[in-house]
A and B are shown apart, each in its own frame.
Chain A
């Protein structure tokens, strides 16, 4: 029973000048084990803050967030994180990067080497073990980041716009990879994205967040992620239901953006 439960989480940032920013307001949700949640919203709506709280990098101003029976109050191995730019250690090779977590746990290097090989194969990087990471393309770097996170066998995977910096083709391949991994490992995943299409494609559940104060505006339960496991992603994108949902959410976000612009003017 390692569900992620958030109860009335509030996050208030105080700037040195004394101004306060209500980044998250009364966020409550429950994510069951094995669910894939995508979070969508205009910039400044607190998506990343929420993720950082879940990762334990930030402590909420009030409220509690728990994973299973444990309250989250610091970073931990059971919550893996994948960053937008990969955040790979460029002084290590691909294999050393993937091995990093295991090495930190001081596991037997011979055993871990085998595990690293397996994971490199899963993410499609067999044979790249000795390549320096700075020689990889963006998509390959994200594959390394995924493998590095997954090799630790976390209960929860937090992805902060992991595919944001990739070109369209690579992005589609990586979306398939995320779905494949989700299905094969049965991990709980929270994925933050800017792309409505991606949120709909990958999200079993989708939260659309609204800014100022950051809150969950609307929640969807969608079938597309499960469809994506069997069908071609491009076919799903042409699905009528998919298109109408996409338009609905897009116009919602546009309204929010306009509201923000209006406030600023």
Chain B
């Protein structure tokens, strides 16, 4: 419903914007010539067209438009797909979608296989001459079974009868298929059962249901019934064996010879055993393949071609919907179930995506028991316990209490201090953010902050001091060029899969970036400014704080901006590797369960958060260093 409205809105927006653009070109003064950058100014209407195209592509290629306008089309296409699937095994017998008859192809292959085996045996250094002769003889006999399958003379009357009967059934189906009376009405009981089952069936794209398989429309029912009939035909056909007594006799003769030979072998004759087994296998393959005389199935082929034609015609509007509204793929059937095959599968429909996103955002649902972003009430005691180190209690005077002889423990001053620093006390609760998004954000924030706190002073020091530059340069330059993820396995082993490991990894990323940018900023300070500060009476520390640091701020903040991007990218990948929360973790789990909607949602959330970080830092840059580029 909403998708339908959106689709129309998009079409109107695109047409309107294009008309507006046309009019603008006509009314605009033509003083702008090609190459004049003025020409690129403005153009909100083209932004509308661009976004509309993006959204339209998404709607169209995710088959959401098909779902919005023809919600039953997937179900109908499913029934058509069932017929196609049932037809396929029969079609493969004939040069309909293949180049040659199945029998022709099989015989060609088996002849080649037997010839190859003969050559192999004759050239084998491990076999005795008499064994070779025996094997070649057996193979030649196996080859002789083929004509017994392909000769019209050896086609048994009974087999012929079955083929005729199956052909008749297909022809009858073809005849009935285009009639309105097909399928014949079910018995009342069966019809009721069918309707009951239909009521329970979920819609297209509902959670846990890709395409509803039971036929919902009359056309669908027609195809569904036909596919069941075709399945029966095909099963019966492939159960049939074209085995004349002459063939069976020859086969038995070969088998007996092989058995006799095998019994005569001892355990050491390994290669003889291998060869004889392979020879037996070649015969068996021919036995189970459906090989028929050249023209025995001609009538059947005609019947199948005729039915294929009729069923294509009967698809009618469904076929047009398939072509127009299911770009890049279609619905495929596999036994009783159907699935989307194409972009409709991996490109989730906007309507489903927003529904699932809404579910994920609900704090009570979330993902893997953790909400995306929410708050929880946390006692102040836990926060105090987290920030105060436990050794504060250890350095207090006195000793920790010892239990008394009547079996109780009396708290004293030292133990009470310990209770405070470990957070073992009652306190009011405050709301604290929690959830996957918050976890990811916090990791980036901590890693970045640590990187800035340690990297900026060291970078400035390195920019000003020869010793510091020389001493720390090898360290930084050796670890920096390594892609951060290459460090991840080591860092995670040392610091654990939890927050510490990830924060340390992000610290490594931001640390080197901050060092390099702070260093560039410090060493790029104009000498005249430092001279000026000197002659104005500034001390070394004052010059550092009042001149060199503010002068390096533009570089430092640009470094922060780069570091945020790098940290964000590294974090998501690190969360892929290990952990139990975070937006990367969500995507990794969604990938395992093929939840394409969730994957796209995480991609979207990451993009938005990355953008948010960048915009925030850009705002900070504009606020704190308005002189940038103007000094």
Contact = CB atoms under 8 A, between A and B. Distances in A.
Contact of B534 (A75, A91, A149): A75
B532 interface: yes
A148 B532 CA distance: 10
B531 A75 contact: yes
A138 interface: no
B625 interface: yes
B630 A81 contact: no
A79 B535 contact: yes
Contacts of B537: 76-77, 101, 104-105, 152
Given A91-B627, A132-B627, A152 B532 contact: no
Contacts of A133: 627
B531 A87 contact: yes
B528 A85 contact: yes
B631 interface: yes
A62 B542 CA distance: 31
Contacts of A76: 535, 537
Contacts of A83: 528, 531-532
Given A81-B531, A104-B542, A148 B536 contact: yes
Interface stretch (B187-195, B545-553, B576-584): B545-553
A77 B551 contact: no
A134 interface: yes
Interface string A133-144: 110000000000
A56 B534 CA distance: 9
A124 B539 CA distance: 30
Contacts of B528: 83-85, 87
Interface string B523-564: 000101101111111110010001100110100000000000
B627 A134 contact: yes
A57 B531 contact: yes
A152 B532 CA distance: 12
Interface string A1-24: 000000000000000000000000
B626 interface: yes
Contact of A87 (B529, B538, B625, B627): B529
Contacts of A91: 550-551, 553, 625, 627
A90 interface: yes
B533 A100 contact: yes
Contacts of A75: 531, 534-535
B553 to A, nearest CB: 7
A134 B630 contact: yes
B300 to A, nearest CB: 90
B535 A90 contact: no
B631 A77 contact: no
B399 to A, nearest CB: 49
Contact of A57 (B534, B536, B626, B627): B534
Nearest to B549: A91
Interface string A93-129: 0000000110011000000000000000000000000
A203 interface: no
Nearest to B624: A91
A46 interface: no
A148 to B, nearest CB: 7
A81 B625 contact: no
A89 interface: yes
Nearest to A55: B535
B630 A90 contact: yes
A53 to B, nearest CB: 13
A67 B627 CA distance: 38
Contacts of B547: 89
A41 interface: no
B460 to A, nearest CB: 16
Contacts of B536: 77, 80, 100-101, 104, 148-149, 152
A90 B625 CA distance: 9
A90 B627 contact: yes
Contacts of A132: 626-627
A81 B627 contact: no
Contacts of A85: 528
Interface in A54-87: 55-57, 75-77, 79-81, 83-85, 87
Contacts of B626: 132, 134
A77 B537 CA distance: 5
Contacts of B535: 55-56, 75-77, 79-81, 149, 154, 158
Q: Which has the most chain B C-beta neighbours within 10 Å: A80, A91, A158?
A: A91
Contacts of B533: 89, 100, 104
Interface string B469-511: 0000000000000000000000000000000000000000000
Contacts of B538: 100, 104
B531 A89 contact: no
B529 to A, nearest CB: 5
Contacts of A84: 528
Nearest to A80: B535
A89 B631 CA distance: 8
Interface in A205-249: none
Interface of B: 526, 528-529, 531-539, 542, 546-547, 550-551, 553, 625-627, 630-631
Given A90-B627, A91-B625, A104-B533, 17 more contacts: A75-B531, A81-B531, A87-B528, A87-B531, A87-B532, A89-B546, A90-B630, A91-B553, A100-B533, A100-B538, A101-B537, A133-B627, A134-B626, A148-B536, A149-B535, A149-B536, A154-B535
15 contacts: A57-B534, A75-B531, A76-B535, A83-B528, A84-B528, A89-B532, A91-B550, A91-B551, A91-B627, A100-B536, A101-B537, A104-B537, A104-B539, A132-B627, A134-B631
4 A-B pairs closest in CB distance:
A75-B534, A77-B537, A101-B536, A87-B528
